[in-house]
Amino acid sequence: MRLGIDAVGQAGGIVEGAVCYTGDVSDPERGLYDLEYYLHFVRELEAAGIHVLAIKDMAGLLKPNAATMLVGAIRNEFPNLPIHVHTHDTAGTGVASMLAAAHAGADAVDSATDALSGTTAQPSLGALVASTKGTDLDTGLNLTEVSMLNEYWEEARGLYAPFESGQKSGSADVYIHEMPGGQYTNLLYQSTQLGLTGQWSHVKTAYAAANRLLGDIIKVTPSSKVTGDLAQFIVANNLTEHEVVEKAEELSFPNSVIEYFQGYLGIPPFGFPEPLRSRVLKGRTIEGTDGLSCFDGRPGAQLPPYDFDINRKTLEEKWSADKISDYDVMSHAMYPQVFDEFMERQEEYGKLSYLDTRTFLTGMKVDQELNVSLEKGKQLIVKLISVGETSDDGIVNIQFELNGQPRSVHVKDKRSGVAETKRLKALKGVTGSIGAAMPGVVLETKVKKGDKVKKGDPLVLMSAMKMETIITSPCDGVVKQVVVTAGDQLDGGDLCVEIDES
Protein backbone atom coordinates (compact mmCIF):
# COMPACT_ATOMS: atom_id res chain seq x y z
CA MET A 1 0.00 0.00 0.00
CA ARG A 2 2.94 2.33 0.57
CA LEU A 3 3.57 2.59 -3.17
CA GLY A 4 0.03 3.86 -3.79
CA ILE A 5 0.00 6.11 -0.73
CA ASP A 6 3.26 7.77 -1.75
CA ALA A 7 2.19 8.17 -5.38
CA VAL A 8 -1.12 9.85 -4.49
CA GLY A 9 0.59 12.09 -1.95
CA GLN A 10 3.27 13.18 -4.40
CA ALA A 11 0.54 13.98 -6.97
CA GLY A 12 -1.13 16.30 -4.46
CA GLY A 13 -4.14 14.07 -3.85
CA ILE A 14 -6.04 13.23 -0.69
CA VAL A 15 -4.85 9.87 0.60
CA GLU A 16 -7.64 7.74 2.08
CA GLY A 17 -6.27 4.48 3.40
CA ALA A 18 -8.65 1.61 4.15
CA VAL A 19 -8.64 -1.03 6.83
CA CYS A 20 -10.90 -3.89 5.73
CA TYR A 21 -13.16 -5.26 8.44
CA THR A 22 -13.95 -8.91 9.00
CA GLY A 23 -14.73 -11.09 12.01
CA ASP A 24 -16.29 -9.49 15.09
CA VAL A 25 -14.31 -7.35 17.56
CA SER A 26 -17.20 -7.58 20.05
CA ASP A 27 -16.81 -11.38 20.25
CA PRO A 28 -13.65 -12.45 22.15
CA GLU A 29 -14.11 -16.00 20.83
CA ARG A 30 -14.07 -14.94 17.14
CA GLY A 31 -10.32 -15.41 16.75
CA LEU A 32 -7.71 -13.67 14.63
CA TYR A 33 -9.16 -10.24 13.93
CA ASP A 34 -9.42 -8.61 17.35
CA LEU A 35 -9.38 -4.93 18.31
CA GLU A 36 -5.59 -4.82 18.61
CA TYR A 37 -5.22 -6.17 15.04
CA TYR A 38 -7.16 -3.19 13.67
CA LEU A 39 -5.46 -0.61 15.89
CA HIS A 40 -2.05 -1.89 14.80
CA PHE A 41 -3.08 -1.62 11.15
CA VAL A 42 -4.39 1.92 11.62
CA ARG A 43 -1.12 2.91 13.32
CA GLU A 44 0.79 1.72 10.26
CA LEU A 45 -1.53 3.59 7.89
CA GLU A 46 -1.29 6.80 9.92
CA ALA A 47 2.51 6.55 10.03
CA ALA A 48 2.54 6.05 6.24
CA GLY A 49 0.92 9.46 5.81
CA ILE A 50 -2.79 8.93 5.08
CA HIS A 51 -5.12 11.90 5.37
CA VAL A 52 -8.38 9.97 5.91
CA LEU A 53 -9.07 6.52 7.35
CA ALA A 54 -11.73 4.32 5.78
CA ILE A 55 -13.20 1.36 7.63
CA LYS A 56 -14.36 -0.89 4.80
CA ASP A 57 -16.96 -3.36 6.05
CA MET A 58 -17.52 -5.26 2.82
CA ALA A 59 -19.89 -7.93 4.15
CA GLY A 60 -21.87 -5.85 6.65
CA LEU A 61 -20.35 -7.69 9.62
CA LEU A 62 -19.87 -4.55 11.74
CA LYS A 63 -22.56 -4.93 14.39
CA PRO A 64 -23.65 -1.84 16.38
CA ASN A 65 -21.69 -2.81 19.50
CA ALA A 66 -18.62 -3.66 17.42
CA ALA A 67 -18.90 -0.31 15.63
CA THR A 68 -18.91 1.48 18.98
CA MET A 69 -15.85 -0.44 20.16
CA LEU A 70 -13.84 -0.15 16.94
CA VAL A 71 -14.53 3.47 16.02
CA GLY A 72 -14.32 4.54 19.65
CA ALA A 73 -10.89 2.95 20.12
CA ILE A 74 -9.55 4.50 16.90
CA ARG A 75 -10.95 7.93 17.76
CA ASN A 76 -9.45 7.74 21.26
CA GLU A 77 -5.97 7.02 19.89
CA PHE A 78 -6.21 9.28 16.82
CA PRO A 79 -8.38 12.27 17.83
CA ASN A 80 -7.61 14.28 14.66
CA LEU A 81 -7.81 11.54 12.00
CA PRO A 82 -11.00 11.77 9.86
CA ILE A 83 -12.85 8.43 9.95
CA HIS A 84 -15.11 7.24 7.11
CA VAL A 85 -17.17 4.05 7.54
CA HIS A 86 -18.52 1.94 4.68
CA THR A 87 -20.87 -1.01 5.17
CA HIS A 88 -23.53 -3.18 3.53
CA ASP A 89 -26.98 -3.85 4.95
CA THR A 90 -27.21 -7.58 4.20
CA ALA A 91 -28.34 -8.52 7.72
CA GLY A 92 -30.56 -5.42 8.15
CA THR A 93 -28.47 -3.85 10.91
CA GLY A 94 -26.81 -1.19 8.73
CA VAL A 95 -28.69 1.89 10.00
CA ALA A 96 -28.10 0.91 13.65
CA SER A 97 -24.41 0.22 13.01
CA MET A 98 -23.84 3.52 11.19
CA LEU A 99 -25.59 5.47 13.95
CA ALA A 100 -23.38 3.68 16.50
CA ALA A 101 -20.27 4.51 14.44
CA ALA A 102 -21.30 8.17 14.24
CA HIS A 103 -21.91 8.40 17.99
CA ALA A 104 -18.48 6.81 18.59
CA GLY A 105 -16.72 9.48 16.53
CA ALA A 106 -16.96 8.63 12.82
CA ASP A 107 -16.96 11.72 10.59
CA ALA A 108 -18.73 10.17 7.58
CA VAL A 109 -20.76 7.03 6.91
CA ASP A 110 -21.91 5.67 3.55
CA SER A 111 -25.58 5.28 2.70
CA ALA A 112 -27.77 4.80 -0.37
CA THR A 113 -30.90 6.58 -1.56
CA ASP A 114 -33.88 4.70 -0.16
CA ALA A 115 -34.94 3.12 -3.48
CA LEU A 116 -31.53 1.49 -3.87
CA SER A 117 -30.76 0.79 -0.20
CA GLY A 118 -31.02 -2.20 2.08
CA THR A 119 -30.11 -5.88 1.66
CA THR A 120 -26.67 -6.08 0.02
CA ALA A 121 -26.55 -2.32 -0.70
CA GLN A 122 -25.85 0.43 1.83
CA PRO A 123 -28.30 1.42 4.60
CA SER A 124 -31.05 3.97 3.90
CA LEU A 125 -30.03 7.62 3.53
CA GLY A 126 -33.53 8.78 4.47
CA ALA A 127 -33.49 6.72 7.65
CA LEU A 128 -30.17 8.24 8.74
CA VAL A 129 -31.32 11.77 7.91
CA ALA A 130 -34.55 11.32 9.89
CA SER A 131 -32.86 9.54 12.81
CA THR A 132 -30.28 12.27 13.38
CA LYS A 133 -32.56 15.29 12.89
CA GLY A 134 -32.41 17.66 15.85
CA THR A 135 -29.42 15.89 17.42
CA ASP A 136 -25.72 16.71 17.55
CA LEU A 137 -25.35 14.48 14.46
CA ASP A 138 -27.96 16.32 12.36
CA THR A 139 -26.90 15.96 8.71
CA GLY A 140 -28.40 19.26 7.64
CA LEU A 141 -30.23 17.51 4.80
CA ASN A 142 -33.94 18.13 4.22
CA LEU A 143 -35.86 14.86 4.28
CA THR A 144 -38.50 16.21 1.89
CA GLU A 145 -35.87 17.12 -0.70
CA VAL A 146 -34.08 13.80 -0.19
CA SER A 147 -37.38 11.99 -0.79
CA MET A 148 -38.02 13.96 -3.99
CA LEU A 149 -34.64 12.85 -5.35
CA ASN A 150 -35.46 9.29 -4.31
CA GLU A 151 -38.58 9.31 -6.52
CA TYR A 152 -36.33 9.57 -9.59
CA TRP A 153 -34.30 6.54 -8.52
CA GLU A 154 -37.45 4.52 -7.81
CA GLU A 155 -38.41 4.90 -11.49
CA ALA A 156 -34.85 4.38 -12.73
CA ARG A 157 -34.56 1.12 -10.80
CA GLY A 158 -37.58 -0.21 -12.70
CA LEU A 159 -35.58 -0.02 -15.95
CA TYR A 160 -33.02 -2.41 -14.52
CA ALA A 161 -35.56 -4.85 -13.04
CA PRO A 162 -34.47 -7.68 -15.41
CA PHE A 163 -31.07 -7.62 -13.73
CA GLU A 164 -32.35 -7.87 -10.14
CA SER A 165 -31.02 -10.84 -8.21
CA GLY A 166 -34.40 -11.83 -6.81
CA GLN A 167 -33.28 -11.25 -3.23
CA LYS A 168 -36.39 -10.22 -1.28
CA SER A 169 -35.09 -9.53 2.20
CA GLY A 170 -32.07 -9.26 4.45
CA SER A 171 -30.26 -12.35 5.65
CA ALA A 172 -28.55 -12.55 9.04
CA ASP A 173 -26.65 -15.70 8.02
CA VAL A 174 -24.08 -13.32 6.55
CA TYR A 175 -22.56 -13.40 10.06
CA ILE A 176 -21.87 -17.09 9.39
CA HIS A 177 -20.62 -17.16 5.78
CA GLU A 178 -19.23 -13.55 5.73
CA MET A 179 -19.91 -13.02 2.02
CA PRO A 180 -19.33 -9.40 0.88
CA GLY A 181 -22.48 -7.54 -0.16
CA GLY A 182 -21.20 -6.74 -3.64
CA GLN A 183 -20.43 -10.41 -4.22
CA TYR A 184 -23.61 -11.84 -2.69
CA THR A 185 -25.96 -11.01 -5.55
CA ASN A 186 -23.31 -11.65 -8.22
CA LEU A 187 -22.56 -15.11 -6.82
CA LEU A 188 -26.28 -15.87 -6.61
CA TYR A 189 -26.56 -15.21 -10.36
CA GLN A 190 -23.30 -16.96 -11.23
CA SER A 191 -24.32 -20.07 -9.33
CA THR A 192 -27.47 -20.32 -11.44
CA GLN A 193 -25.45 -19.93 -14.65
CA LEU A 194 -23.07 -22.66 -13.50
CA GLY A 195 -25.90 -25.15 -13.14
CA LEU A 196 -26.20 -24.82 -9.36
CA THR A 197 -29.83 -23.70 -9.40
CA GLY A 198 -31.56 -24.60 -6.14
CA GLN A 199 -28.24 -25.04 -4.34
CA TRP A 200 -27.75 -21.46 -3.09
CA SER A 201 -27.88 -22.57 0.54
CA HIS A 202 -25.13 -25.10 -0.22
CA VAL A 203 -23.04 -22.39 -1.93
CA LYS A 204 -23.31 -20.18 1.18
CA THR A 205 -22.30 -23.07 3.43
CA ALA A 206 -19.42 -23.89 1.08
CA TYR A 207 -18.36 -20.21 1.14
CA ALA A 208 -17.81 -20.45 4.89
CA ALA A 209 -15.89 -23.70 4.35
CA ALA A 210 -13.80 -22.10 1.58
CA ASN A 211 -12.94 -19.22 3.90
CA ARG A 212 -11.69 -21.65 6.52
CA LEU A 213 -9.70 -23.60 3.91
CA LEU A 214 -8.03 -20.40 2.71
CA GLY A 215 -7.03 -19.42 6.24
CA ASP A 216 -9.93 -17.14 7.34
CA ILE A 217 -8.88 -14.35 5.01
CA ILE A 218 -10.07 -10.76 4.60
CA LYS A 219 -12.62 -11.06 1.82
CA VAL A 220 -12.56 -8.10 -0.56
CA THR A 221 -11.95 -8.02 -4.31
CA PRO A 222 -10.01 -10.00 -5.44
CA SER A 223 -9.68 -12.28 -2.39
CA SER A 224 -13.49 -12.59 -2.18
CA LYS A 225 -13.49 -13.91 -5.76
CA VAL A 226 -11.01 -16.60 -4.73
CA THR A 227 -13.33 -17.63 -1.89
CA GLY A 228 -16.40 -17.61 -4.14
CA ASP A 229 -14.66 -19.60 -6.89
CA LEU A 230 -13.58 -22.24 -4.39
CA ALA A 231 -17.09 -22.39 -2.88
CA GLN A 232 -18.72 -23.02 -6.25
CA PHE A 233 -16.02 -25.55 -7.10
CA ILE A 234 -16.77 -27.42 -3.87
CA VAL A 235 -20.52 -27.56 -4.57
CA ALA A 236 -20.18 -28.38 -8.29
CA ASN A 237 -17.89 -31.31 -7.49
CA ASN A 238 -19.80 -32.43 -4.38
CA LEU A 239 -16.72 -32.16 -2.14
CA THR A 240 -16.43 -31.90 1.62
CA GLU A 241 -14.00 -29.59 3.37
CA HIS A 242 -11.92 -32.62 4.36
CA GLU A 243 -11.87 -33.99 0.80
CA VAL A 244 -10.56 -30.68 -0.60
CA VAL A 245 -7.47 -31.02 1.60
CA GLU A 246 -7.01 -34.77 1.09
CA LYS A 247 -7.47 -34.68 -2.72
CA ALA A 248 -5.77 -31.32 -3.33
CA GLU A 249 -2.94 -32.79 -5.41
CA GLU A 250 -5.32 -34.29 -7.97
CA LEU A 251 -8.08 -31.64 -8.15
CA SER A 252 -8.25 -29.08 -10.98
CA PHE A 253 -8.73 -25.97 -8.85
CA PRO A 254 -9.85 -22.64 -10.34
CA ASN A 255 -6.91 -20.48 -11.44
CA SER A 256 -7.76 -17.86 -8.84
CA VAL A 257 -7.28 -20.39 -6.03
CA ILE A 258 -3.92 -21.57 -7.40
CA GLU A 259 -2.71 -17.98 -7.85
CA TYR A 260 -3.85 -17.10 -4.32
CA PHE A 261 -1.61 -19.82 -2.89
CA GLN A 262 1.21 -18.67 -5.20
CA GLY A 263 1.08 -15.26 -3.56
CA TYR A 264 -0.37 -13.27 -6.46
CA LEU A 265 -2.50 -11.31 -3.96
CA GLY A 266 0.31 -10.99 -1.44
CA ILE A 267 0.84 -12.86 1.79
CA PRO A 268 -2.16 -13.12 4.19
CA PRO A 269 -1.59 -11.48 7.61
CA PHE A 270 -1.56 -14.84 9.35
CA GLY A 271 0.13 -16.84 6.58
CA PHE A 272 -1.10 -19.59 4.24
CA PRO A 273 -2.83 -22.69 5.63
CA GLU A 274 -0.91 -25.93 5.52
CA PRO A 275 -0.88 -28.64 4.27
CA LEU A 276 -3.42 -27.38 1.69
CA ARG A 277 -1.09 -24.78 0.18
CA SER A 278 1.79 -27.24 -0.33
CA ARG A 279 -0.52 -29.81 -1.87
CA VAL A 280 -2.16 -27.35 -4.27
CA LEU A 281 1.23 -26.03 -5.43
CA LYS A 282 2.97 -29.40 -5.69
CA GLY A 283 4.71 -29.53 -9.06
CA ARG A 284 3.54 -26.03 -10.05
CA THR A 285 5.75 -23.03 -10.86
CA ILE A 286 4.92 -19.42 -11.67
CA GLU A 287 5.09 -18.74 -15.39
CA GLY A 288 7.84 -16.29 -16.33
CA THR A 289 9.96 -16.99 -13.24
CA ASP A 290 12.97 -19.19 -12.69
CA GLY A 291 11.08 -22.09 -11.14
CA LEU A 292 9.48 -19.97 -8.42
CA SER A 293 6.47 -21.70 -6.81
CA CYS A 294 5.29 -18.76 -4.67
CA PHE A 295 6.01 -15.03 -4.50
CA ASP A 296 7.79 -13.86 -1.37
CA GLY A 297 6.20 -10.56 -0.35
CA ARG A 298 4.65 -8.08 -2.78
CA PRO A 299 4.33 -9.87 -6.15
CA GLY A 300 4.70 -6.66 -8.15
CA ALA A 301 8.21 -6.17 -6.75
CA GLN A 302 9.34 -9.34 -8.53
CA LEU A 303 7.87 -8.46 -11.93
CA PRO A 304 9.84 -6.71 -14.70
CA PRO A 305 9.01 -3.01 -15.33
CA TYR A 306 5.97 -2.45 -17.56
CA ASP A 307 6.83 -0.59 -20.78
CA PHE A 308 3.81 1.63 -21.46
CA ASP A 309 5.19 3.01 -24.74
CA ILE A 310 5.83 -0.39 -26.30
CA ASN A 311 2.48 -1.75 -25.16
CA ARG A 312 0.65 1.34 -26.48
CA LYS A 313 2.31 0.79 -29.86
CA THR A 314 1.27 -2.88 -29.83
CA LEU A 315 -2.34 -1.95 -29.07
CA GLU A 316 -2.37 0.75 -31.75
CA GLU A 317 -1.09 -1.72 -34.33
CA LYS A 318 -3.77 -4.23 -33.35
CA TRP A 319 -6.78 -1.90 -32.97
CA SER A 320 -5.64 1.31 -34.79
CA ALA A 321 -4.20 4.40 -33.10
CA ASP A 322 -7.42 6.44 -33.07
CA LYS A 323 -9.13 3.83 -30.90
CA ILE A 324 -6.50 3.64 -28.14
CA SER A 325 -6.48 6.15 -25.26
CA ASP A 326 -4.43 6.37 -22.08
CA TYR A 327 -7.35 4.68 -20.29
CA ASP A 328 -7.17 1.78 -22.75
CA VAL A 329 -3.44 1.32 -22.15
CA MET A 330 -4.04 1.21 -18.39
CA SER A 331 -7.00 -1.17 -18.79
CA HIS A 332 -4.92 -3.56 -20.89
CA ALA A 333 -2.02 -3.39 -18.42
CA MET A 334 -4.30 -4.54 -15.59
CA TYR A 335 -6.79 -6.80 -17.43
CA PRO A 336 -5.32 -7.82 -20.82
CA GLN A 337 -7.76 -10.64 -21.57
CA VAL A 338 -10.85 -8.67 -20.52
CA PHE A 339 -9.71 -5.67 -22.56
CA ASP A 340 -9.19 -7.79 -25.69
CA GLU A 341 -12.64 -9.37 -25.29
CA PHE A 342 -14.18 -5.90 -24.93
CA MET A 343 -12.44 -4.61 -28.07
CA GLU A 344 -13.41 -7.70 -30.08
CA ARG A 345 -17.05 -7.28 -29.07
CA GLN A 346 -16.94 -3.58 -29.90
CA GLU A 347 -15.41 -4.35 -33.30
CA GLU A 348 -18.28 -6.77 -34.00
CA TYR A 349 -21.23 -4.77 -32.64
CA GLY A 350 -19.99 -1.18 -32.46
CA LYS A 351 -20.47 1.17 -29.51
CA LEU A 352 -23.77 0.24 -27.91
CA SER A 353 -23.42 3.25 -25.58
CA TYR A 354 -25.16 5.26 -28.32
CA LEU A 355 -28.44 3.49 -27.48
CA ASP A 356 -30.78 4.75 -24.78
CA THR A 357 -31.11 2.61 -21.66
CA ARG A 358 -34.60 1.25 -22.34
CA THR A 359 -33.76 0.12 -25.89
CA PHE A 360 -30.48 -1.43 -24.77
CA LEU A 361 -32.20 -3.45 -22.02
CA THR A 362 -35.51 -4.41 -23.66
CA GLY A 363 -34.97 -4.07 -27.42
CA MET A 364 -37.26 -2.49 -30.02
CA LYS A 365 -40.90 -3.23 -30.80
CA VAL A 366 -42.24 -3.79 -34.33
CA ASP A 367 -42.94 -0.45 -36.11
CA GLN A 368 -40.88 1.44 -33.53
CA GLU A 369 -38.56 4.08 -34.96
CA LEU A 370 -35.36 4.97 -33.16
CA ASN A 371 -33.06 7.95 -33.60
CA VAL A 372 -29.44 7.17 -32.74
CA SER A 373 -27.12 10.16 -32.43
CA LEU A 374 -23.52 9.18 -33.25
CA GLU A 375 -22.11 12.69 -33.08
CA LYS A 376 -23.23 16.27 -33.70
CA GLY A 377 -25.00 16.37 -37.06
CA LYS A 378 -24.80 12.60 -37.61
CA GLN A 379 -27.86 10.48 -36.86
CA LEU A 380 -29.10 7.03 -37.73
CA ILE A 381 -32.83 6.37 -38.04
CA VAL A 382 -33.66 2.71 -37.36
CA LYS A 383 -37.15 1.25 -37.79
CA LEU A 384 -38.00 -2.35 -36.89
CA ILE A 385 -40.26 -3.82 -39.62
CA SER A 386 -40.74 -7.44 -38.59
CA VAL A 387 -39.43 -10.34 -36.51
CA GLY A 388 -39.81 -13.67 -38.29
CA GLU A 389 -40.63 -17.09 -36.92
CA THR A 390 -37.86 -19.22 -35.47
CA SER A 391 -36.58 -21.74 -38.02
CA ASP A 392 -35.89 -25.39 -37.28
CA ASP A 393 -32.25 -24.60 -36.68
CA GLY A 394 -33.07 -21.77 -34.24
CA ILE A 395 -32.54 -18.80 -36.59
CA VAL A 396 -34.82 -15.73 -36.76
CA ASN A 397 -34.96 -13.30 -39.70
CA ILE A 398 -35.09 -9.65 -38.60
CA GLN A 399 -36.20 -7.01 -41.12
CA PHE A 400 -35.63 -3.31 -40.49
CA GLU A 401 -34.96 0.02 -42.18
CA LEU A 402 -31.73 2.00 -41.75
CA ASN A 403 -32.16 5.62 -42.84
CA GLY A 404 -35.06 4.47 -45.02
CA GLN A 405 -33.16 1.62 -46.71
CA PRO A 406 -34.48 -1.94 -46.16
CA ARG A 407 -32.08 -4.30 -44.38
CA SER A 408 -32.28 -7.79 -42.87
CA VAL A 409 -30.17 -9.89 -40.52
CA HIS A 410 -30.31 -13.48 -39.30
CA VAL A 411 -30.03 -13.90 -35.54
CA LYS A 412 -29.78 -17.08 -33.48
CA ASP A 413 -32.65 -17.33 -30.99
CA LYS A 414 -31.07 -18.54 -27.77
CA ARG A 415 -34.53 -19.21 -26.31
CA SER A 416 -35.58 -21.48 -29.17
CA GLY A 417 -34.73 -24.67 -27.33
CA VAL A 418 -33.00 -26.09 -30.41
CA ALA A 419 -30.71 -28.79 -29.08
CA GLU A 420 -26.97 -28.51 -29.55
CA THR A 421 -24.90 -31.53 -30.46
CA LYS A 422 -24.98 -33.90 -27.51
CA ARG A 423 -21.55 -34.35 -25.97
CA LEU A 424 -20.00 -37.49 -24.57
CA LYS A 425 -19.51 -37.67 -20.82
CA ALA A 426 -16.28 -38.60 -19.10
CA LEU A 427 -16.37 -42.16 -17.79
CA LYS A 428 -16.56 -42.35 -14.03
CA GLY A 429 -13.85 -44.46 -12.45
CA VAL A 430 -11.63 -44.27 -15.57
CA THR A 431 -8.60 -42.10 -14.71
CA GLY A 432 -7.73 -41.28 -18.34
CA SER A 433 -11.26 -40.13 -19.19
CA ILE A 434 -11.12 -36.47 -18.20
CA GLY A 435 -14.18 -34.24 -18.06
CA ALA A 436 -15.02 -30.63 -17.27
CA ALA A 437 -15.16 -29.99 -13.54
CA MET A 438 -17.82 -27.28 -14.03
CA PRO A 439 -19.93 -25.83 -16.87
CA GLY A 440 -18.09 -23.23 -18.95
CA VAL A 441 -16.46 -22.22 -22.21
CA VAL A 442 -13.21 -23.68 -23.54
CA LEU A 443 -10.63 -20.90 -23.91
CA GLU A 444 -7.66 -22.96 -25.03
CA THR A 445 -6.50 -26.55 -25.45
CA LYS A 446 -2.97 -27.11 -24.19
CA VAL A 447 -2.32 -30.56 -25.77
CA LYS A 448 -2.98 -32.49 -28.98
CA LYS A 449 -3.34 -36.14 -29.93
CA GLY A 450 -0.11 -38.06 -29.39
CA ASP A 451 1.40 -35.69 -26.81
CA LYS A 452 3.10 -37.27 -23.81
CA VAL A 453 1.86 -35.82 -20.53
CA LYS A 454 2.70 -36.19 -16.88
CA LYS A 455 0.41 -36.02 -13.89
CA GLY A 456 -0.46 -32.37 -13.23
CA ASP A 457 0.26 -31.11 -16.76
CA PRO A 458 -2.33 -28.60 -18.08
CA LEU A 459 -4.75 -30.00 -20.67
CA VAL A 460 -7.58 -27.50 -21.18
CA LEU A 461 -8.19 -23.92 -20.03
CA MET A 462 -11.86 -23.14 -19.32
CA SER A 463 -13.80 -20.07 -18.20
CA ALA A 464 -17.15 -19.88 -16.44
CA MET A 465 -18.62 -16.55 -15.25
CA LYS A 466 -15.19 -14.90 -14.80
CA MET A 467 -13.79 -18.03 -13.16
CA GLU A 468 -10.93 -19.68 -15.04
CA THR A 469 -10.07 -23.32 -14.43
CA ILE A 470 -7.20 -25.38 -15.81
CA ILE A 471 -8.06 -29.04 -16.29
CA THR A 472 -4.91 -30.99 -15.49
CA SER A 473 -3.86 -34.52 -16.23
CA PRO A 474 -4.61 -36.96 -13.39
CA CYS A 475 -1.97 -39.40 -14.62
CA ASP A 476 1.09 -39.99 -16.81
CA GLY A 477 0.37 -41.13 -20.34
CA VAL A 478 -0.22 -40.28 -24.00
CA VAL A 479 -3.10 -38.14 -25.25
CA LYS A 480 -5.48 -40.45 -27.13
CA GLN A 481 -7.85 -37.70 -28.28
CA VAL A 482 -8.88 -34.11 -27.55
CA VAL A 483 -12.62 -33.76 -28.14
CA VAL A 484 -13.01 -30.02 -27.44
CA THR A 485 -11.84 -26.85 -29.17
CA ALA A 486 -11.71 -23.17 -28.17
CA GLY A 487 -15.20 -21.69 -27.96
CA ASP A 488 -17.00 -24.93 -27.06
CA GLN A 489 -19.67 -24.61 -24.38
CA LEU A 490 -19.47 -27.51 -21.92
CA ASP A 491 -21.55 -28.85 -19.09
CA GLY A 492 -20.03 -30.37 -15.97
CA GLY A 493 -18.75 -33.87 -16.69
CA ASP A 494 -18.51 -33.42 -20.49
CA LEU A 495 -15.55 -35.33 -21.93
CA CYS A 496 -12.55 -33.12 -22.80
CA VAL A 497 -9.50 -35.35 -23.17
CA GLU A 498 -8.75 -39.08 -23.19
CA ILE A 499 -5.35 -40.33 -22.07
CA ASP A 500 -3.80 -43.78 -22.41
CA GLU A 501 -2.17 -44.39 -19.06
CA SER A 502 1.44 -45.48 -19.10
What pLDDT, in 10s, does the model give residues 256-301? 999 999 999 999 999 999 999 999 999 888 877 778 889 988 888 8
Report the percentage of the chain scoring pLDDT > 90: 68
420 band by pLDDT with thresholds 50, 70 and 90 = low
Strands 16-20 and 52-56 come out as parallel
pLDDT of the residue at 208? 97
CA distance 277 to 298: 18
> What is the radius of gyration, based on Cα positions, of the chain?
26
What pLDDT, in 10s, does the model give residues 192-228? 777 787 889 999 999 999 999 999 999 998 999 999 9
Instruction: Give the residues across from 405 on adjacent strands.
Output: 402
Cα torsion 170, 439, 458, 335: sign: negative
What pLDDT, in 10s, does the model give residues 125-149? 999 999 999 999 999 999 999 999 9
Q: Indicate whether 465 pLDDT > 90.
A: no
- Hey, what amino acid is at 263? G
Helices (H), 167-237: 174-177, 181-193, 200-213, 223-236
Average pLDDT of the segment spanning 399-407: 94
What pLDDT, in 10s, does the model give residues 153-191? 999 998 888 788 888 899 999 999 999 998 998 888 888
pLDDT of the residue at 417? 65
Buried b / exposed e across 10-45, counting CB within 10 Å, b at 16+? eeeeebebbbbbbbbbbeeeeeebebebbbebbeeb
Helix (H) or strand (E) holding 43: helix 35-48
Backbone angles phi, psi at 400, to 5 degrees: -155, 170
Q: What angle do CA 212, 213, 215 make, to 5 degrees?
A: 65
DSSP codes joined into one string, 335-372 = -HHHHHHHHHHHHHH--GGGS-HHHHHH-PPTT-EEEE
Backbone angles phi, psi at 172, to 5 degrees: -70, -10
Sheet of strand 458-464: strand arrangement: 467-472, 458-464, 440-445, 489-490
DSSP codes joined into one string, 459-494 = EEEEEETTEEEEEE-SSSEEEEEE---TT-EE-TTB
When comparing pLDDT for 21 and 490, which is higher?
21
pLDDT of the residue at 375? 84
377 band by pLDDT with thresholds 50, 70 and 90 = confident
Q: Which contacts (CB < 8 Å, 24+ apart) does range 278-283 have?
A: 279/245, 279/248, 279/249, 280/248, 280/249, 280/253, 282/249, 282/456, 283/455, 283/456
pLDDT of the residue at 358? 84
